[in-house]
A and B are shown apart, each in its own frame.
Chain A
Amino acid sequence: MIELTIDNLAVSVDDGATILDAAEQAGVSIPSMCFLKGCAPSTSCMVCVVRVNGRESLAPACGTKAVDGMVVESDCDEVHAARKTALELLLSDHVGDCMGPCHVTCPAKMDIPLMIRQIAGGEFGEAIKTIKNDIPLPAVLGRICPAPCENACRRRLQDSAVSICLLKRFVADVDLASPAPYMPVQAKKKNKRVAIVGAGCVGLSAAYYLQVDGFDCTVFDSNEKGGGMLCDEPADKLSGGVLAAEVGVIEKMGVEFKLNMQVTGGAVFDKICKEFDAVLLAVGLENSEGLDSSLPSVFVGSDIGGKKKMAVAAVAAGKAAAVCVGQYLGGEDVAGSVKPFNSRMGKLLDGEIDVFMESASKAGRVEPAGYVGGFVNDEAVGESLRCLHCDCRKPVDCKLRRYAEEYSAKANTYKAKRRGFAQVLESEVVFEQGKCIDCGLCVEIASRESAGCGLAFTGRGFDVKVAVPFGRSLTEGLGRVAAKCIAACPVGALTSR
């Protein structure tokens, strides 16, 4: 047995164990990207570096054998800084977006590409879930949203943007017209009451997400119906029925509506503040007089002080407020929701749009034929196939993204001219060179088990890349281990189609 310490924790391991093995045993978490059990350590990513016996140069935990009496430091500033630098260096050479430009641009941060793919697959029930994760009023917004997402859509470089807004409306309309419109699963009741003052976009959105989180919400509004400024939209754009239907869903979730009720003025407000565990002010600027927001349990979720011109931004503000209120009531620090890490490839270089177009329908933007401006099934599916799949195919499992978040690595610390975007699309697999971190796992697995011609590292230094020998196809190279290699790939370089 070998005895060593990791971050002052004593651990004993078998002969031949690495520092990474020892750390696992000691319960010390060491990040690693290029290492996979069952494969020889390639010691390439260097994200797993640790300090050994106080030495100046750091050692990769995955490949360094544990030695008796070794003193390993994993949790110190210097090791953290080195890991962060390794991640930032990898990110400086990472060609690809974690999230599609539409997703990033959407004020509500709705996962648009996922919704589109669900539509393309005919999974409308899944699509509505995706939408309602961030937008509780999609049928409404599908009619009035100015769709900043479409402005960011890369497809515009080819012809015109994917008709995102209409696709969302289509899904929402299909849902509302169904016998049992989508009801989100609600968390276990937390027995806390939240008063929301104002039934506009912000208030409705906050109520929706707080209710989903298990809080009991009551919405106050001086108006006779919910919707706030949405009620002022011209009827030919937004009929009252659509708004009522989506407010109805929220009501059906258990949110109580106290309409025709003026909350301004001391007495009523004080009473609400006493009666409820938290109060969220979601009223417009002109209605905010006399509402004292200095109490710790009173939150301001509307555009007091600012102007949310777009309903979609108001919806986002409502969700953000709900997160804060939830954190407050849960006794956590009120920090709002964490912005997910996103690597961006930025403006496309000449010719790159053609690479993106390879996977998309070449047809022009579909214009709805009948049905008062909305899509019918085939139109929606046809339109959704025009999406370029700009977002990463491994947004959740990508270790680079996960550790970048964990170590607060920034994607643009080292500014550099980026490489061109390249993508190999075959029937089962997709390979994006620009995302590869040269860990060699696929090369090793394929050379051992593919029964095909395998993969190879070609070139040297900064130009090293993984390629199939003699320019053959990926399918030939991967042989029967495509799925295994895809699963082994720590980033979004090798993915299934």
Chain B
Amino acid sequence: MSEVDLTFLDDAVGRIGRGKDRVLELLQAAQGHYGYLPVEVLERICELTEITPSAIAGISTFYDQFRHTPCGEHIIKICVGTACHVKGASLVYDAFLRHLKIESGGDTDADGLFTVEKVACLGCCTLAPAVQIGEITYGHLTCDGVGAVLEDFLRRDSIKKKDKKKGDGAAKIHPEGEIRIGLGSCCVARGSGKLLDAIEDVLTETAIKAEIKQVGCVGMCYQTPLLEIVLPDGKTFLYTTVEPKEARSIILAHFKPSSFGKRLMNSVSGLLDRVVSDNVGVDLCCHEAEVREGHIADFLGKQEHIATEHCGVINPVDLDEYVSKGGFEAFKRTLGEMDREDVIGEIEKSGLRGRGGAGFPSHLKWRAVEAQDCDTKYIVCNGDEGDPGAFMDRMLMESYPLRVIEGLAIAARAVGASEGFLYIRAEYPLAVKRIEEAIEKCEEAGLLGGDIFGSGFSLSLTIVQGAGAFVCGEESALMASVEGKRGMPRLRPPFPAESGLWGKPTLINNVETYSTVPWILNNGGDKFAEHGTVNSSGTKVFALAGKVANGGLIEVPMGISLRQVVEGIGGGIGGGRTFKAVQIGGPSGGCIPAGKADISVDYESLTAAGAIMGSGGLVVLDDTDCMVDIARYFLEFTQNQSCGKCTFCRVGTRRMLDILERLCAGQGQKGDIEKLYELSLMVKKGSLCGLGKTAPNPVLSTIEYFRDEYEAHIEGRCPAGKCKGLITYSITDDCIGCTVCAQRCPADAIAFTPYVKHEIDTEKCFCCDTCRNVCPADAVKVE
């Protein structure tokens, strides 16, 4: 390669620092600048800093975020989180590779335009399957839709580039914003004319001055009519298959009518959510990464808001608004009337248990740190929410950053820590931004910093961005990462309370745990304990996704039954399918069958059922989901995310995956289930940290409840029709000869025979499922 200009690094090191613990930030900056990490760059960083070659070689290869080879101009991040997986993410991944003609083993197309990457979870579970290209997130993808998605992206990208050439992108947008409506022939055919009329009516009635722009065909003809809202600041929102009657609510959601007040804005925001993401009828939608799911989905049902208090009404980083609603009252009390023991006593009364997964009683942890006789103590907020299928902490940090900070500050005060770190996944740029803003505002207001309100208590907070390693959610690994090391867990004890960051006593809790703390102090521990059950008090935030009709974030009291969550709040299974199981707790959790769905959602009941509370991922499965495939999916994830330290996890999970892959490929042998079971127990018993100890749970729970499916795989059948090696596609007599499948088949496995029953050449077929999806007569059979 040509010479790399290394001058950027001098500036970066000057700005970021030379210490060993600056390594992640330096590497992130370098990759941001160079696009990847050339060897010259790594060597230069070592010359300029205290970081050793050994450390930088180890760290830059440990985290998924870092690339050592150049990549294409745009990166297509395909989410393979649980919700996306059960909705066909791997088929979408294959479709992108096929479409871009990327050969197996490669990840970048011949033109160097696109690099295709799998990512653990984008946290957009209700848009599943989702991909992110550049800053745009596309949801509800189908295999035959990938071409349209790429075209759409390139169109947007070229507009952006043109704007840049003009010097000022925003100048092009009408000062009052724009409403763009597609008027290509297919749009007109699908009723965009009527939509245009409706929009004009709304604008006249509300006196909104936004400009209506009619645009030509954008190539996404099967989801028309399209409506795009462009705000004066350049933010865009795309709505697909918009009905004329929806025009009003969409417009009101984005533009302030001159005659209506703020109250009306709020009243339509729930509807906005429905349109952007949760509407079942929307089969593809895309928008800037920033909006994603927007607010918490406000379903009917038994929800209670503690961590998500003031849901949907509060501006995330508006400190005045937060304070006006009682924000930081609790923290101020801890600086004055309440002493440390008072605070911890309230937490004890509340019965709060760690919301990160294991459910350790919070007051015990706090008290252990408080009791340490040491001048320097640290406090850490674990925001490395890595479970595929979970996005609670992202939402809490994006929507309630001030509450997270207040909780953290209260805890710091209670244990006597004056320096804190918020470790946040790199995949959550908006959460980072919001927390950053919130910290700044708190510092300006004197809520953070030295000698807060003359109390003598000081607290400074720093954000550390993760770099893509699930294992860093484990507390000892997280602390290693904060210290600028490979995120390797270590043997506990000693626990962080005794020896944490840099060997000092450290309190570490997750985002949701801290988020509940202000409420507990404001309302009293007893009040909190009134919610939930005796041993699991309070509420829990879940990310409800998968095959459920209404997915989204929910906060429910502990003790609610799983069935109430799935059928009550989630509205049951969509698409006329039957409820099969709930995967709860992500890769460390298990699958609870529909027959056991009446169990109570609390720490003990879930553990007894072979799952765990986990951080709150709740993926609902229906009868088309293969449980062996689900187990394989999770093992693939944990195996890939293992740090590689101890034998049981590093090699054991790999060997478990080998067996599961064999089963799913139809190469299972007699004795495999027993061997898998035995090995699972060993990995559970022998692994060093929580990742390995819980990795076998998805396997053990599926073997326990769905052993017949495992046996079927050994006999060469996949009852759910999911495992490619065990299924064949065929067309039944219901075929109407419409040729849609033949046109769409990417494998050319279906001959074009109009008005005659079609046939699938099973030799050519690679089971992409496109034909079944497009068939209007439901004539494609999978066996």
Residues in A lying within 8 Å of B, measured CB to CB: 41-47, 49, 56-60, 63-65, 81-82, 85-86, 89-90, 92-93, 414-416, 437-438, 443, 446-447, 453-464, 467, 469-471
Which residues of chain B have C-beta atoms less than 8 A from A63's C-beta? 491
Most chain B C-beta atoms within 10 Å of own C-beta, residue among A414, A438, A471 = A414
A-B contact pairs, 30 of them (CB 8 A): A44-B646, A44-B647, A45-B647, A57-B693, A60-B491, A85-B686, A86-B648, A86-B686, A89-B648, A92-B655, A414-B658, A415-B658, A443-B54, A447-B54, A453-B54, A454-B52, A458-B58, A458-B62, A460-B61, A460-B62, A460-B469, A461-B641, A461-B654, A462-B642, A462-B653, A464-B645, A467-B57, A469-B56, A469-B57, A470-B39
Query: Is A43 a contact of B55 with CB atoms below 8 Å?
Result: no
Q: Which of A82, A92, A416 contacts B686 (CB 8 A)?
A: A82
Residues of A within 8 A of B639 (CB): 461-462
Contacts of B655 in A (CB 8 A): 89, 92, 414, 416
Q: Contact at B53–A82, with CB atoms within 8 Å? A: no
Stretch at the interface among B84-92, B178-186, B304-312, B677-685: B677-685
Q: Is the CB of B491 within 8 A of A82?
A: no
CB of A83 to closest CB in B, whole Å: 9
Which residues of the partner chain B approach A470 to less than 8 Å between Cβ atoms?
A: 39, 42-43, 53, 57
A90 adjacent to B651 (CB under 8 Å): yes
Apart from A82-B686, A90-B647, what are 14 other A-B pairs with CB-CB below 8 Å? A45-B647, A46-B688, A57-B685, A85-B648, A85-B652, A89-B655, A93-B651, A414-B679, A461-B650, A462-B642, A462-B654, A464-B643, A464-B650, A470-B57
Within 8 A of A (CB), among B638-695: 639-648, 650-655, 658, 679, 682, 684-688, 693
B493 within 8 A of A: yes
**Which 8 A-B pairs rank lowest in CB-CB distance, beginning with the nearest?**
A464-B644, A469-B53, A469-B57, A456-B57, A461-B642, A454-B54, A89-B651, A458-B61
Neighbouring B residues of A453 by C-beta, 8 Å: 53-54
**Which residues of B from 355 to 392 have beta carbons under 8 Å from A?**
none
The residues of A that contact B18 with a CB separation of less than 8 Å are none
Residue of B54, B647, B685 touching A455 (CB-CB under 8 A): B54
Contact B57 A461 (CB under 8 A): no
CA gap between A487 and B306 in the complex, in Å = 59
Q: Which B residues are CB-close (under 8 A) to A462?
A: 639, 642, 644, 650-651, 653-654
B292 interface residue (CB < 8 Å to A) = no
User: Are A469 and B54 closer than 8 Å at their CB atoms?
Assistant: yes
The answer to whether A46 and B685 have CB atoms under 8 Å apart is no
**Closest residue to B659 on the A side, CB-wise?**
A414
> What is the CB-to-nearest-CB distance from B690 to chain A, in angstroms, rounded to a whole number?
10
- Bound CA span A58–B653, Å: 17
Which of A45, A414, A461 has a CB less than 8 Å from the CB of B644? Answer: A461
CB A49 to nearest CB in B, in angstroms, measures: 6
Least distance between B636 CB and chain A CB atoms (Å)? 11
Judged by a CB distance under 8 angstroms, whether B77 is at the interface is no
Q: How far apart are B667's CB and chain A's nearest CB, in angstroms?
A: 11
B490 at interface, CB cutoff 8 A: yes
Shortest B473–chain A CB gap in Å is 14
Q: How many A-B residue pairs have CB under 8 A?
A: 134
Interface residue? B486 (CB, 8 A): yes
- The residues of A that contact B658 with a CB separation of less than 8 Å are 414-416
Q: Which residue of B lies closest to A83 (CB)?
A: B686
Inter-subunit contact B651/A92 (CB<8 Å): yes
- Report the Cα distance A296→B685, complex, angstroms: 48
CA distance A86 to B646 in the complex (A): 9
Question: A58 to chain B: which residues have CB within 8 Å?
Answer: 685-686
- B646 to A46, Cβ gap below 8 A? yes
Q: Mark B36-55, 1 if CB is under 8 A from A, else 0.
A: 00010011000000001111
Query: Are A461 and B54 in contact (CB-based, < 8 A)?
Result: no
Q: B42, B648, B654: which contacts A46 (Cβ < 8 A)?
A: B648
Cβ B647 vs Cβ A461 within 8 A: no
Interface residue count for B (Cβ, 8 Å)?
Answer: 43
Contact of A457 with B491 at beta-carbon distance under 8 Å, contacts A49-B686, A89-B648, A462-B651 already known = no
| A60-B489 Cα distance, complex, nearest whole Å | 14
- A45 to B62, alpha carbons, bound, how many Å? 20
B50-99: which residues lie under 8 A (CB-CB) from chain A? 52-58, 61-63
- B residues less than 8 Å from A45 (CB atoms): 646-647
The minimal Cβ–Cβ distance linking A282 to chain B, given in whole angstroms, is 43
CA distance A49 to B486 in the complex (A): 24
B652:A89 contact, CB within 8 angstroms: yes
**B:161-213 near A, CB below 8 Å:** none
User: Across the interface, which residues of A come within 8 angstroms of B652, CB to CB?
Assistant: 85, 89
Nearest CB in chain B: distance from A476 CB, A: 10
CA A64 to CA B493, docked complex, whole Å: 8
Closest B residue, CB atoms, query A47: B647
B491 contacts A43, C-beta separation under 8 Å: yes
* Chain B residues within 8 Å of A463, by CB: 644
A161 to chain B, nearest CB (A): 34
CA A455 to CA B54, docked complex, whole Å: 6
Shortest CB distance B120–A (Å)? 13
Which chain A residues border B42 with CB–CB below 8 Å?
A: 470
A457 and B63 alpha carbons, distance in the complex (Å): 12
Chain B CB within 10 Å — which of A41, A446, A470 has the most? A470
- CB-CB under 8 A from A47, the residues of chain B are 647
Residue in B closest to A452 when the chains form the complex, CB atoms:
B53
Q: Would you call B58 and A457 a contact (CB within 8 A)?
A: yes
Complex CA–CA separation, A453 to B39 (angstroms): 14
Out of B647, B679, B686, name the residue touching A437 (CB < 8 Å): B647
Min Cβ gap A444→B in Å is 10
A89: min CB distance to chain B, Å: 4
Q: Which residues of chain B in 277-333 are interfacial with respect to chain A, using CB atoms and an 8 Å cutoff?
A: none
Assuming A89-B652, A93-B651, is B54 touching A46 (CB within 8 A)? no
List A contacts of B644 (CB < 8 A): 438, 457, 459-464
A454 touching B53, Cβ below 8 Å: yes
Give complex CA distance A82, B648 in Å. Answer: 9
Instruction: Give the chain A neighbours of B684 by CB distance below 8 A.
Output: 57
CB distance from A44 to the nearest CB of B (A): 5
Chain A contacts of B654 at CB under 8 A?
Answer: 93, 416, 461-462
Residue among B646, B647, B648, B686 with most chain A CB within 10 A: B647
Interface centre among B52, B641, B645, B648 (most CB of A within 10 A): B645
Partner of A456, one of B53, B685, B687: B53
| Contact across chains for B640 and A461 when beta carbons are under 8 A apart | yes
Chain B residues with CB under 8 Å of A443's CB are 54
Tell me the complex Cα distance, A167–B652, Å.
44
Say whether, besides A447-B54, A461-B641, A64 and B491 are in contact (CB < 8 Å). Answer: yes
A56 B648 Cβ-Cβ under 8 A: no
Cα-based distance from A252 to B679 in the complex (angstroms): 57
Q: Which residues of A contact B54 (CB under 8 A)?
A: 443, 446-447, 453-456, 469
- Residue of A58, A86, A89, A455 with most chain B CB atoms under a 10 A cut-off: A89
Kindly list chain A residues whose C-beta atoms are within 8 Å of the C-beta of B650.
Answer: 438, 461-462, 464
Complexed CA–CA distance, A85 and B653 (Å): 13
Residues of B within 8 A of A457 (CB): 58, 486, 644
Contact B642 A458 (CB under 8 A): no
Q: Please indicate which of the listed interface residues A438, A446, A456, A471 has the most CB atoms of chain B within 10 Å of its own CB.
A: A456
State in angstroms the CA–CA spacing of A274 and B693 once bound together. 65
B564 CB to closest chain A CB, in angstroms? 32
Which A residues are CB-close (under 8 A) to B486? 457, 460
Docked pose: A89 CA to B735 CA in angstroms: 51
